[in-house]
Amino acid sequence: MSAKAGIKLMCPTVPLSNGRHIPILGLGTSHFGGYSHSAVVYALRECGIRHIDTAKRYGCESQLQEAIRDSGVAREKLWITTKLWPDEYGYQTTKQACLESCRRLGVQNLDLYLMHWPDCRSPGKSNREMRAETWRALEELYDEGVCGAIGVSNFLIPHLEQLKEDCSVVPHVNQVEYHPFYRPQELVDYCKAEGIVFEGYCPLAKGEGLTHPTIIELAKKYNRTPSQICIRWSIQNGVVTIPKSTKEERILENCQVLGFSLAEDDVAILNGMHDGRHVSWDPTHIL
């Protein structure tokens, strides 16, 4: 199948604790060359992607407004996530930043708004104090309907425990690095117990998963590609998964993961590849 042909994606959703449903497969965007207008339009129009993940830090919210418009997909059919960067943490700055993200994206509200990182970079307050102050602003944005759901990214169990003690709304989502080399099962289990949906980024380990002999062998076994094996494994583990690409053929490939399943033994093999390796940020030492 050529990239231009596209597919009709029928994507399952995962329920949040507030009753909303997030598509289990989405399209991630990023900075450093991680945005392509034509690729986003293709993902929405031809592949049926309805879940877009971005962030203020990526610098492409305005471009996404154009891509969504050019795709012809109605706003109400989309799930749009963006994130708040620590430079704008704090009660007033958070509320203003959220509204500015909405303006750049050309939407009245967000489906999901995330605190991007647990380190708040505030000289006058502790990380815990600033996270709590920022989260209270997110709670108000949620109560006002500006955000359909609120959550965090790169938060570990101690960060989530503090937030639970300091605030009233438990995060609906925690978005964390997740791939065969980094499978933080204790954190996954904690989130499940607390009603927090676990969402994974970097499912291909920034390409490291595509060249691993075990993953290549599984790809041959299932007549699939290494990227499809990684994404399918993540989804079968119940993780909302957001691979990113700027190439139409890769986006099409990454979307073709819902028509097959990995055997339990093969999921176990991939689970056993965890070695604690980060390919992105490591929040372990942030208090």
Could you give the residue numbers annotated as active site?
58
Over pLDDT 70: what percentage of the chain? Answer: 96
172 in a labelled binding site: no
**Angstrom distances, CA of residue 197 to CA of 69, 121, 205:** 29, 26, 21
pLDDT per residue as tens digits for the range 223-277: 999 999 999 999 999 999 999 999 999 999 999 999 999 999 999 999 999 999 9
**How long a stretch of residues is the chain?**
287
Q: Note the pLDDT of residue 139.
A: 98
Q: Is the pLDDT of residue 52 over 60?
A: yes
CA dist list (Å): 65 to 69, 80, 94: 6, 11, 21
Mean pLDDT of 200-222: 97
Alpha carbon distance 130, 95 (integer Å): 14
CATH 3.40.50.300: does it fit domain 3-271? no
What is the per-residue pLDDT for 287? Answer: 92
Asked whether residue 2 carries a pLDDT value surpassing 50, the answer given is: no
Q: What is the mean pLDDT of the chain?
A: 95
pLDDT of 31 > 90? The answer is no
Cα dist from 206 to 123, 219, 226, 279, whole Å: 33, 18, 12, 7
pLDDT at site 1: 43
> Model's pTM, two decimal places?
0.95
